[in-house]
Amino acid sequence: MSKKDNIEEEAIVNEQETIQAEENQDIEAEVVEEVPTAEELIQAEKDKFLRLFAEFENYKKRTTRERIELFKTAGQELMTSLLPIVDDFERALTHTEEDKENKVAAELREGVLLIYQKFYKTLETKGLSKVETKAGDIFDAEIHEAITQIPAPSEDLKGKIIDCVEQGYKLGEKVVRYPKVVIGQ
């Protein structure tokens, strides 16, 4: 081989080596860019941990609130089914009050009153309370249930409660039965 051919061959080899070195540098640069550092990995794991911890704390708070609410209204169905019995007691007391001259009726009224008071106090200890409604109160659709409207006996009773037909009750802060009222028109 001639000197000229050797030089050309060396130039071709050098050029191939240069191209190969550049490709290796590009590959190394890509590898370095793709592999996160230990600090980045630690930070990513800390972030995941903090998010998971916050989510778990929110879950605990939510379930605690739901549990407290469940305990407050656990007896709602039972209380609702006992309300007609309270109404019957009140009607019996009203009926026996009309016949005051009869000694037997007075004794009966006293017995019914004692049972009613004991029964109602038991319900009150479980969280039941009356929704106070009187004639002359302003009608509020969020608290009262209007069953009918009648012409108001006087101008000042228009839009106000004239009579309470059925008493309303709350269990804690939740209304379990709205008072049924007659309002003036």
pLDDT at 177: 92
Q: How far is CA 143 from CA 13, 137, 174, in A?
A: 95, 12, 11
pLDDT at 44: 92
Specify the higher pLDDT residue, 20 or 144: 144
What is the CATH number for 151? Answer: 2.30.22.10
**Residue for token pair 């980045």:** 40
Strands (E), the chain: 128-131, 145-150, 161-166, 168-171, 174-177, 180-184
Per the DSSP assignment, residues forming a β-bridge with 181 are 146, 164
- Are 44 and 94 found together in one domain? no
pLDDT tens digits, 6-29: 677 777 777 777 777 777 776 665
- Are 24 and 44 found together in one domain? yes
Mean pLDDT on 135-143:
85
- Are 65 and 120 found together in one domain? no
Q: Which string of b and e fits 97-136 if b means at least 16 CB within 10 Å?
A: eeeeeeeeeeeebeebeeebeeeeeebeeebbeebebeee
- Cβ proximity of 122 and 67 under 8 Å: no
How many beta carbons lie within 10 A of that of residue 79, not counting itself? 20
- Are 88 and 52 found together in one domain? no
pLDDT at 61: 95
Mean pLDDT on 144-163:
85
- Are 65 and 80 found together in one domain? no
- Are 33 and 23 found together in one domain? yes
- Are 121 and 132 found together in one domain? no
- Cβ proximity of 120 and 100 under 8 Å: no
Residue 50 sits in which domain range? Answer: 3-70
Specify the higher pLDDT residue, 30 or 88: 88
pLDDT at 158: 83
Q: Is the pLDDT of residue 32 over 80?
A: no
Total domains present in the chain: 3
φ/ψ (deg, to 5) at 26: -60, -45
- Are 91 and 140 found together in one domain? no
- Are 90 and 60 found together in one domain? no
- Are 167 and 134 found together in one domain? yes
pLDDT at 97: 74
pLDDT at 59: 95
- Are 51 and 88 found together in one domain? no
Q: Is the pLDDT of residue 3 over 70?
A: no
Mean pLDDT on 155-175:
86
- Are 66 and 78 found together in one domain? no
